[in-house]
Structures are given as C-alpha cells and as structure tokens.
C-alpha cells in the first residue's frame, strides 16, 4: 500500500473517531514521517552508540543523527559529514582504522591498541562524540 493511501486512511479513521467520540482535543500525528520536515534547523548531533567497551581489533559501527530544537530527527546532507578518531596518547600516532571518514552517516572504527579513544563527527559546524574504552 502506498504511503499516501495509508496516510489518508489513518487520517480518515482519526477524523471519524473524533466525530464519534465528541472529542475536540485530539491531534493526529503524521505516521511514517521519520524526519521533521518543518523545523530543519540543526540544534545538536548524537553519535550512536555514545559509549562503548571494545577489545583490540574488534570493529564497531557508529552512526550520526541530527536533531532540531524540538529534539526531533532532521535530515543530514551526507556530503558535509566528517568523522575523526582521537587516541589518549597524541604522540603515539594513528593506532586505529576509521572508514569512511567523509560522506557517510556511518563509520566503522577498529582500535589497534588498548586505551581510551574518542570518535568525533562534524556536521554544519556542530560536533558530537562517542567515547570508547579498549581493553
């Protein structure tokens, strides 16, 4: 069934329910709408998962989500997404793999050494991070 037909059926059922019940305060929601299309101003980002415990050479996928001031999901232009990893010892060099680092809502991180890492994502001048402890 097409989304438009399903939405029409749900809206019709909601209106009939209001008429039958006499309730005048029912506000139907928009089913099937994953993103807020009205308020698209970015307020903050989240990296999911936000905290992870891992072992060396174990891979973990991370996802970025963008939210507006109403705490509702908004769409992301993936061409503007950048991922960065940081290890507790800056002078130790790159002791991880992170792929991709640009143009994706997801990245896969693999630590090559024990310790504490952070995975940062940047989008439209906003930053969010996940913290990783590697044993």
Element of type H or E holding 15? helix 3-21
How confident is the model over 112-125, as pLDDT tens digits? 999 999 999 999 99
Domain residue spans in the chain?
Answer: 1-33, 44-134
How confident is the model over 56-86, as pLDDT tens digits? 999 999 999 999 999 999 999 999 999 999 9
pLDDT of residue 27 exceeding 70, the answer is no
Q: What is the CATH number of domain 44-134?
A: 2.60.40.1080
């Amino acid at each position: 069934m097409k989304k438009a037909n399903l939405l029409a059926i749900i809206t019709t059922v909601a209106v009939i329910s209001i008429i039958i019940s006499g309730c005048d305060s029912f506000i139907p929601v928009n089913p099937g709408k994953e993103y807020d299309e009205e308020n698209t101003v970015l307020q903050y980002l989240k990296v999911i998962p936000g905290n992870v415990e891992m072992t060396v050479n174990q891979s973990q996928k991370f996802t970025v989500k963008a939210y507006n001031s109403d705490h509702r999901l908004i769409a992301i232009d993936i061409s503007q997404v950048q991922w960065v990893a940081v290890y507790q010892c800056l002078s130790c060099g790159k002791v991880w793999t992170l792929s991709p680092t640009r143009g994706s809502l997801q990245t896969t991180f693999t630590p090559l050494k024990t310790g504490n890492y952070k995975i940062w994502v940047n989008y439209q001048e906003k930053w969010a991070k996940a913290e990783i402890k590697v044993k």
